[in-house]
A and B are shown apart, each in its own frame.
Chain A
Amino acid sequence: MSKKTINNLNLILFLLPGLILFVGVLIAPIALSGYYSFFNWNGFGPKEFIGFSNYKELFTSDAIGFLKALGNSLLLAALSVFVQLPVSLGLALLLGRSIKGERGFLSIFFMPVLISTVVIGQLWLKIYNPSYGILNVVLTKIGLESWTRIWLGTPETALGACFAPTLWQYVGYHMLLMYAGVKGVSPDLREAAKIDGATNGQVNRYIVIPSIKPILKVSVIFAITGSLKSFDLIYVLTNGGPLHATEVPSTLMINMLFLRNRYGMGSTIAVMLIVLCFAFALLINRLFKEKD
């Protein structure tokens, strides 16, 4: 064998395990999902080609309620961007200022990210429990008995009750990313601004925040795509109920697949999710570019 063929052979051997995994589990299935989405299929019997009917039904059928589920996840996305990220940024800016106990606070605030969402969900199930949950117990004890609710069982409160732990759990994640950025700002620059009489607020506004913009972009993208994909906590807390009040696209997808055996429709939802995630990522990239 010539040296060149040996080199090529080695190259292929090095790439092979990764490529097999990646193409076999990610790329080929995406193509297949797209393919299935054009069929009426129960997963086992023959497939019936129906063109874009699944997509049409998805967006027009009230029985499926995709638009409502999508609306819920977009609401979560908005709350993530306008509530969760500001809290994270605030914490990152405070800790990045080298205050006392910085490392300790950082480590504690990051902790919920590491805990399994199922564990967090189970904990909050107990917190929200109507009769014994700590939330209602505390409300009763401080004389606000009229505020107690069946938090996860009432359509009006269930969505909020699902969102609260979701937002809470990942504050620490975004805070950590932003903190890393804040720490990357040169201390000299900060010092110089301070000597010129800038307040902490002004330093943050004019020096720190502009220089961590790339990280803010990543955080916004993660927050939005994460909201679109959200599943675990809602599955544990309500599984879309009561009366579909907390349905999100992922819970719909799972129900389509495993309760109604509609594999074509389940694939259609999967495809919509991928398209939406990529579309939002592109949109946010564009928005951040325009601002520069």
Chain B
Amino acid sequence: MTHKTIQVTPSRCIGCLNCELACASRDWGQYFPAGSKINLVFFKDGGQVPVTCFQCDEAPCLKVCQTGALARNELTGVIASDPDRCVGCRTCVSVCPFGNINYSKAGRRVEKCDQCQGQPRCAAACPSGALTFVDDAKLVQARRRAYAESLKSVASTEGPK
């Protein structure tokens, strides 16, 4: 199984907050943005970007968890949290360099993005294509192709004689 990523294209984000609402409604059954595991960051100089867990390879949160509440699914590469195993010490919240893992006082557990077990609701709810769920391999391929396209003109003018 290939790893998949929630790809963020900031230029496409229209700031509608649908991703936050879709995320929160899964675990809370209601539109409760504070319970969302994806967050829109609004810049005061205009624009915004949705951010969520990167599922780091060298994940600091995973390293500090002593109860096995955070575990990586080796098939998908996704780190999920098991609320039953969490004791609420919040060390993972302190060590996440990106602020993408939260402790929920209401739920008495740590909350992080688990890509909805392979069907992320944020991406499904995004109306503008700012969030897409793509194969890692295809992501790299697309970027390589885009870069190659940009070299096209050079290639045709300065190709071998």
User: Are A and B co-members of a single complex?
Assistant: no
List A residues at the B interface (Cβ < 8 Å): none
